[in-house]
Each structure stands twice: as C-alpha cells, then as structure tokens.
Structure 1
Amino acid sequence: MVLKNASILVIDDDADVLTALRLLLKPLVKNVVTEKNPNNIIAQIEKTHYNIIILDMNFTAIVNTGNEGIFWLNKIQKLKPDTSVILMTAYADIDLAIRGLKEGASDFLMKPWKNEKIIETIKTILSQKTSNNKKQKTLNSNTVEIIGESDAMQDVFVKLKKVAPTDANVLILGENGTGKDLIARALHENSNRKDKPFIKVDVGALTSSLFESELFGYKKGAFTDAHEDREGRFEAANGGTLFLDEIGNITLGQQVRLLTVLQNRQVTPLGSNESIDIDIRLICATNVEPKTLADESKFRKDLIYRINTVDIIIPPLRRRGTDITELSRHFVSMYAEKYNKNPFTFDTGFISKLKKHDFPGNVRELQYVLERAVIMTDGNVLKTDDLVFSSIERSTTTKSIETTSLNLDDIEKNAILTVLEKHKGNVSKSAKELGITRAALYRRLEKYEL
C-alpha cells in the first residue's frame, strides 16, 4: 500500500503532539484521525478501519498494569490483529517499548521525534503489509478469503489445517449460506492435490437421468442425444478433488451407484463395458441435519461411512459474534470498489443493527444486505436506515438463539437480549431482573458485543 492510501489513527493525551502529527501527516495520507482519550480507542476502530495506529505509551489515566500502552496494544491486537501499531515513548520508557515490540507492536518512536523518521517508519510498515498480502494471495491464489476471528470459526480452521494435507474424505455440514463451498475449496487449495483439478457438482440438482451421465460420463450412441463421447465429473477430477454439493438430497438409488464407484475406485461410462480407474479426493457438503443422515430410510449408513472420514461443521452466522463486524468491512470494501465509490465508514448504530438480526440466510444474506446498502446510500457513511433486510428471509429485531441450543453462552446471551428488550435498553432495570450488578451486566455486554 502506498502512503497516500493509508488511514492512520494517532492516540496521545498531549494536544500539542496530536496537532503536530496531524499537520505532518494530513498532506501525505488519505485519512488521519487524532484521539486524546484512550478509552475511545475501541469505538474508533469499530467504526473505521485504520492501517496504522500511532499509540502513546503513557496517559493520565491509571491502568492496573502500570503501562497503559501495553494494555491498549493488547486490546487493539485482539480486536484488529491486521492493524499495525507504532508505539511512542520517551527515552525513559525504552525498556517498555522493547517489551511492546515483543508483544506485537510494529515499531516504536522516540519523543521528541524527527519527522523524516516517522514518515519512513510508516512507509516501511505499509510496504511490509503489501508484501505479506501478496505472499498470501500467491499461496491461496484461487481461494476466496475466509474471514473469521470467532472461537467457532477458529475451531473450523484448526480442523481444516489438520485435514487438508491428507486424502481423507470430508463431509461439510452447515446451513444454507454459511460458506460450505469456500471450505471445500480451501481444503483443496491446501492439499497435495492443489495443482490438479477441483471439480464441483451440485448433485442435489441432478435428475435421475442426468445423475449417471454427469458423474460417470457416456459413450457416443449411449442414448438419443449422445452424439460424441463425454467424460464424467469423476474422470475430469482424476488426480484432484471432486466436490459433491447437496449430497443429502440424492435418492437411495443414486446412493447405491455412488457407493459402488467409491468402493471400487472405478467408473463405467454409460454405453461402455470398460471401467476407468479413478484417483480422487472426495469432499461432500449438505445442509441436511446429521440426525436425518443417520436415518437409514433416507440415507445409507455404508455411504455415510465412505464420505465421512472427517466432518467439518460450519457455524451459522448468528453464532459467530465478532465475525459480523469483520465480514461487514470486507463486503462493504469489496462493493465500494466494484461500484466505484469512495471508502465507507459506519455510524455507531450500523453494526449494532446488524448484530441484532439473526441472519437466517447467514453470510450470503449479509453479503446481499451490504451490497444493497452500498448501492442505495448517499454519502460515505453507512447508517442504520441503509440496512434493509430481505423479506424473503425470516428476520427478527433481536438475535435469536435456536431453541435446540444448550450452550451456556447462548442461553445467557439470549436471556440478556430478552431482558434488555423488555426494559427498552435500561441497564439498571435489566441488571436487577437478571439478578446481577450493573458492572456484571456491562461485562457481559462487552463479552457478547451487545
């Protein structure tokens, strides 16, 4: 990234320092914001994405650790791990600054500073970020970025990292719109077969007559419209990965044919007596609930065992907490570029309204909602009024938790949302009804980002 496209946040309790840095950087960068109160850091980084934060290490407020800079550095890294932090320190704080580097700061500056040094430091960090991004795109050149900082998605990433290098068959489970196809492609791109074909088939959409011809191929003359030989998807994926989407919707007869191919590792094209050996890594996906797959009247157990060496369950968006914020920034940035609009910021209620919607359409619904907002809004600040949820999807005013969920966090979060809605956001009355103190309720609100 070049300097002129950078957004920078400067945090210092000295008004003279803020003025000096604003005057220095304003002509050079796209956006420079100054903030005197460190307690406003979270609000600042929630509403605007900054490439670099210049952070003082000492403030008038007293934090229990005795080193405020380290405290706020850790906060920023937790919320925005992709944002670089430059620490500012006096000579006496040099040991603390070195500790800051060990804990993840990108660099530190000494007070009083030299203007040339600050500019050079910022340029170096931006250059390194651009280089790292290019390397990442090279490693995953055909993969759409999968965004997720929540614990639920981290569990998915851990399993993906372990399973991808193997040839194990994988069954991906999840609701519509959760991104099962992205996980399938990520498994392929991080496997030993990444340089071989990745073939996707929506088997749930294939009629009985098309199922065999599409998957196994056919010979010329095999049926009326077979004017030439055609290889099937199994053969096309040979050496690579075959992704069968909506596997839960195929008939019992189709299941038998698929099972035979997987057992023998051979396909026989329609109209042929010769079998063709296949070498594929199989990935399947379905939105059908596991209990339905376990019903032998609907799905063969022997086929389940074949396709389900490892299962990966993709959580619905309503279970992914902070990911809504990161996904929103990603989609808004993507559509701003697509529709030739300037970068957007969010007003204070924009993300809150998104988080209160339960998104039955999951990430796909969020994507469409934000594309619509980018197209229809005037100006470069997205407001709550710009959010219009689809009438096609079921929507609610509060984030609902599935009645089948017995997760304690889900139960507690749902109780808090219900009581807050009942008392129209009055924290004192809500805390009293919940049987906890105001401070305890505030801690829970922060925990669940409500």
Structure 2
Amino acid sequence: MVLKEATILVIDDDVDVLTALRLLFKPLVKEVIIEKNPSNIGAQIDKKNFDIIILDMNFNGLVNTGNEGIFWLNEIKKIKPKTDVVLITAYADIDLAIRALKEGASDFLVKPWKNEKITNTISSLLKARKSNASDKKSSQLGTSAIIGESEAIKDVFLKLKKVAPTDANVLILGENGTGKDLIAKALHDNSNRKDKPFVKVDVGALTSSLFESELFGYKKGAFTDAKEDRVGRFEAANGGTLFLDEIGNITLGQQVRLLTVLQNRLVTPLGSNEAISIDIRLICATNIEPKVLADEQKFRKDLIYRINTVDIVMPPLRDRGTDITLLAKHFISVYADKYNKSQFLLDSGFISKLKKHDFPGNVRELQYVLERAVIMADSTSLKPEDLVFSSIERQTSKASTTTMNLDSLEKNAILTVLEKNKGNVSKSAKELGITRAALYRRLDKYEL
C-alpha cells in the first residue's frame, strides 16, 4: 500500500497537534480522521478500517494508570490486533515508549517531530504491510516469494504443492540464477516442519577439511583450532529442513560420508565417539546437468537415489515468456523504493528489449540489470537505452556456446573416422593427426 491509499486515525487531546497532523496528511493520504477523546477509539474503529493509528502517550488523566498511552494501545489491539499504532511521545517518555513497542506498538515519534520523519515512518509501515500481505498470498499458493504465471513456472508450482507437505527428499535442478534457493525455502515454508529450523549450507564451497566439521560439528580439542564444542548443520537443522546447495560439486569422499549419515540418520561430531540421532527433511540443489550426475565416476548412484525422491527442475528465464515482464515490474518497484525514486513508467521499447535478451544469468541477471537501470535513469520513464546487459554474462554465454559447438564437432569427427576405420584406434588416431593416447582420452571424455 502507498501513502495516498491510506486511511489514518489521529488521537490526541491537544487541538494544535490534531490540526497540525490533519493539515500535514490531508494532501498525502486518502483520508485522515482526528479524535480528541480516546474514549471514542472503539466507536471510530467500528465505523472505519484504519491502516495506521497515531496515538498520543499522555492524556488529561482520563485513565488513572500513569501511562494512558499503553492502556489505549492495548484497547486498540484487543479490537484490531493487526493495526499499526504509532505513538507520539515527549522526550521524557522514551522509556515508556520503548515499553509500548514491546506491548505491540509499531513505532514512536518524539515531540516536536519533523514532518519528513513522520511521513517516512508512516510510508515504511504501509510498505511493510503491503509486503506482508504479498508474502501471505504467495505462501497460500505454496510459492513463497516466487513470481510468475507462465506454464513453465506453473508446472513447478504444481509439483511444489504436492511435494511440500510430505517429508520426501527433493533435488532441485536448474541453471545458476533460476531461483533454486527460493524453491527450497518454499518447500520448507509449506511443510509440516515450517516452525522448525531451515538451515542452508553451500556444500560446494566447503573444503575437504571443513566439510565434516561444518556438517557434523566437533568437540573441543578435536583439532588445533577447536577451542570449544560446535554444533554441526545437521544437528542445527534437527526437526526442520537442511538445504544443501551446490550438491553436485562435492567429492566422492564427501559423498560417502554424506550417504552414511543419511542412511543411518546419525551424526558423530569430530572428536566424539557418541552418535547423535537426527530428524531432518533434506533438500539439495545443483546446476549440474542430470547426465553428469548419472556418471558414477563423478557422483554415486546410491547417493542420487537417496537425495532424489522427487526432483524439481527450475526453468531458465528465457523459457518463461511473460514472466520477464512481471519480474521486471516487481524489481523496478522494489529498487525505486530502495533508492527513494518515483515509480517508473516502462517504455514499450524497454520491455521489447528485455524480451529479446536470452538472460544467460537468468532471474539474478535480470535483477541486477534492472537495479542498474533504476539507479542510472535520468527520467521517470525507462527506455531501451537504460538497459545495459552484463558483458560478463555475454562472454560466459558465448564461451560456453563455442565450447559446446567445438566439442560437438570434435565428437562427430571422431565417430566418423572410427566408423570409416571399423573401430581401429591406431588408424583413426593417425588419420586424425593425434596420438593413440590422445584419442583414448577423447573417447573417455565423450563416453564413446
């Protein structure tokens, strides 16, 4: 919600304060109601649904408690518990205001206030309300913060809804930047474990020495720098969800240790002989293609079966059609708010240029491109020239495409020569102009 759509109630027994706030907010909000007598709060709330209530901390002894503001705050919360209440207080009442925050107030303002400060405070609360409402709507759909309505993303939502309430282990596949971490969080948030821990570990970034200590923990004295006991990530996630990102990058040795833990549901911290029972739901993610994971020289099949009860494939942004426009509008709004800029109009050429780009960096690249556009824009209308795509992503994409094409050409050439020579490696190597050892390496590379 934006400020101009808000309805505000101001309660203060000082007529000057009421007049000042009414004059301040009248041109900024949809409606501002002022009330001198706090005893009328209930009647005012019954008549209208207020987005924000601004409440004075001190009245003229109408309630004999010594802290009337907290009394009336509690009365408001009894009637409308989710209403944001902002308190107005004098310098001497700061301790009381802090206590009121603990009682459920959303914020407090100190007299005399600055107009810019009070409008910023109200705007921030309204934006938070909008964000919370959006999150609630998304979680009801089982999609957390994922934005999209394309057929490709709808297939993901459908599978997510079916899988999330179960305890099935899930493997999330997809290119970098497609939002695999959002799917992992959505699975947790819509599961029976949602009130328990969600622990994420980028296992691909862990060295062999750190792998076991991070995942399984250690006891004091287990190694030189172990100066105190440390709980591992498996134990920290007990009862909840453990998300292992970049699972495809761990070594065969690490895979063996992980498989043992998953089979036995027990972890033994380094330096300890006592195994700890664990109860977790496991979610893994990788950007490695399934055919690579299927290679037993790189990844154990028994571990794949263990972590992949169900797989969810995140589609690349280039396959998500109209989602590009939806995501663009979302990120532009977010960054306009972040950098205190007016909301932007999007030129048709701007959208057209976005749609023509293949986004090798996927949603993450889109996000960064739009943040830059918002920062650098000279007007409130975004035009094609405001879009500058990453040269890094272009080079990466071009390089990977070139590599793929060269590999394909080389593989086809080898197959052609081998067929011609009826599988004779020596003759084929001579015709290709390479040694027999070099040809054998290529045969192994292309699994021929």
TM bucket, shorter chain: 0.5 to 0.7
Which runs of structure 2 are paired with 1:208-247 in the superposition (5 Å)?
208-247=208-247
Unmatched 5+ residue regions in structure 2?
7-26, 31-125, 405-448
What's 1:134 paired with? 133
Taking the aligned partners of 1:395 and 1:347, their CA distance within structure 2 comes to 28
Establish whether residue 360 from structure 1 lines up as the match of residue 335 from structure 2. no
What's 1:309 paired with? 309
Which runs of structure 2 are paired with 1:115-154 in the superposition (5 Å)?
134=133, 136-137=135-136, 140=139, 145-154=145-154
TM-fit CA distance, 1:4 = 2.8
What's 1:391 paired with? 391
Taking the aligned partners of 2:231 and 2:386, their CA distance within structure 1 comes to 49
**Aligned length in residues:** 285
Post-superposition Cα deviations, 1:119-168, rounded to whole Å, max 9, x if no partner, equal: xxxxxxxx9xx899628538849986100110000000000000000000
Which runs of structure 2 are paired with 1:15-414 in the superposition (5 Å)?
134=133, 136-137=135-136, 140=139, 145-394=145-394
SS in structure 1 of the partner of residue 360 of structure 2: coil
Post-superposition Cα deviations, 1:227-248, rounded to whole Å, max 9, x if no partner, equal: 0000100000000000000000
Taking the aligned partners of 1:238 and 1:217, their CA distance within structure 2 comes to 13
| TM-score for both structures, normalised by structure 2 | 0.59
Taking the aligned partners of 2:235 and 2:2, their CA distance within structure 1 comes to 47
Structure showing greater radius of gyration is 2
Letter matched to residue 295 of structure 1: D
Letter matched to residue 150 of structure 1: S
Q: 1:393 to 1:2 in 2, by over 3 A?
A: closer
TM-fit CA distance, 1:395 = 7.1
CA contact (8 A) 1:357 1:395 kept: no
TM-fit CA distance, 1:221 = 0.3
Q: Give the helix-richer structure, 1 or 2.
A: 2
TM-fit CA distance, 1:368 = 0.2
Taking the aligned partners of 2:150 and 2:329, their CA distance within structure 1 comes to 15
Post-superposition Cα deviations, 1:306-355, rounded to whole Å, max 9, x if no partner, equal: 00000000000000000000000000000000000000111110010001
Taking the aligned partners of 2:396 and 2:180, their CA distance within structure 1 comes to 25
SS in structure 2 of the partner of residue 214 of structure 1: helix
| TM-score for both structures, normalised by structure 1 | 0.59
What's 1:119 paired with? none
TM-fit CA distance, 1:28 = 9.7
Post-superposition Cα deviations, 1:399-440, rounded to whole Å, max 9, x if no partner, equal: xx99x9xxxxxxxxxxxxxxxxxxxxxxxxxxxxxxxxxxxx
Taking the aligned partners of 1:258 and 1:316, their CA distance within structure 2 comes to 29
CA contact (8 A) 1:235 1:278 kept: yes
SS in structure 1 of the partner of residue 394 of structure 2: coil
Q: 1:138 to 1:153 in 2, by over 3 A?
A: closer
Unmatched 5+ residue regions in structure 1?
7-26, 31-126, 405-450
Taking the aligned partners of 1:396 and 1:240, their CA distance within structure 2 comes to 37
Q: CA RMSD of the aligned region, Å?
A: 3.2
Q: 1:165 to 1:144 in 2, by over 3 A?
A: closer
